[in-house]
Amino acid sequence: MTDILSPSGQAPGRAWARQGARCASIEVERLTCAIGAELRGVNIADAVRDDDLFAEIKSLLLEHRVLFLRDQDLSRAEHVAFASRFGALEDHPVAGSDPDHPGLVRIYKELDSAPEHYENALHTDGTWRVNPSMGAVLHCVESPPVGGDTIWVNMVAAYDRLPAHVKAQIEGLRARHSIEASFGAVMPEEKRIALHEQYPDAEHPVVRTHPETGEKILFVNAFTTHFTNFHTPANVRFGQDYAPGASHLLSYLISQAAVPEYQVRWRWTPGSVAIWDNRSTQHYAVQDYWPGVRKMERAGIVGDRPF
């Protein structure tokens, strides 16, 4: 991978200009030691047609896992065109898409919006799919005067810093991820069952490998319901060992995303954009802004099958 690190000894959080053949004007400021960088001097709409600029942004994304930009004059057509450079866009079976721009989900929280609590949980998008999202591009249309931040978490760091005995225990473990148990839980029984039939639970490794960087990632989140291959003689002496042993371990693993040292928090303003690698992160939209209004538009990108 192209060297995209700051100069040796560069203090975290200090801005530095990325030097490249076409992209020397991009200024990159790391926001934490673990995750996140703000880009300045770039308009992502230009990357729709500029291959070098897009390659630079993608390289920075692999390094920092989530990128932030402010003051982006981005039309919906440009939004989906930019996101489509990463891959095909996906629809959402519950949230739906903008009718004129397939793959663009409007996440509008207004005063008369029905309450829901799916965003304000640490999660990785679409792990209930066989092929979870590769990533997403989120554009702020309207932000509340106070609150409404989003948090992202580096799940590579969450895995790297696990105790050695836990890493050994979870090696080879697999887990189920469910849309029925999350989005479907508030639906009438018939609709919930129909949703499950359309999207059966997906099974993924507890530790996945990033397909581009080779990094190991802790891959459990709010959509994860249970391990599928925990009940072995090595883990279960008697039946009563099964439930607490597995559930306590899963709860412990899911809780790692709440460690502040793995996180970055972003304050939205109209025209700001976040681009994140969904394979190696989790995120949490903080719902602390009522009676403020928050209007976001997201283009999710189809991913690969985790291994």
Report which residue type is found at 114.
Answer: A
Confidence of residue 141 (pLDDT cuts 50, 70, 90): very high
Give 96's Cβ-side CA count (13 Å radius). 4
Give the span between the Cα atoms of 31 and 264, in whole angstroms: 7
- Which of 68-77, 94-103, 255-264 is least confident? 94-103
**Size of the chain in residues:** 307
231 carries an active-site annotation: no
Which band of pLDDT confidence, cut at 50, 70 and 90, is reported for residue 14? very low
Q: Which range among 52-56, 79-83, 237-241 shows the weakest confidence by mean pLDDT?
A: 237-241
Decide if 79 is catalytic.
no
Q: Which residue has the higher pLDDT, 195 or 13?
A: 195
Residue of 125, 176, 208, 279 marked active site: 125
Q: How far is CA 299 from CA 84, 104, 174, 199, in A?
A: 8, 5, 28, 20
Distance CA 183, CA 94 (A): 8
3 is catalytic: no
- Please say if 208 is a catalytic residue: no
Q: Which of 101, 208, 283, 294 is catalytic?
A: 283
Please report the pLDDT score of residue 69 as a whole number: 98
Q: Among the ranges 54-68, 100-114, 175-189, which has the highest mean pLDDT value?
A: 54-68
For residue 214, what are the contacts with CB-CB under 8 A and spacing of at least 6?
Answer: none
Q: Which of 65, 79, 101, 123 is catalytic?
A: 123
Which own/partner pairs from 80-83 qualify as long-range (CB within 8 Å, at least 24 positions apart)? 80/104, 80/299, 81/48, 82/44, 82/45, 82/47, 82/48, 82/137, 82/299, 83/136, 83/137, 83/299, 83/300, 83/301
> Following DSSP, what letter does each residue of 240-291 receive, concatenated?
HHHHHHHHHHHHHHHHGGG-GGGEEEE---TT-EEEEETTSEEEEE----TT
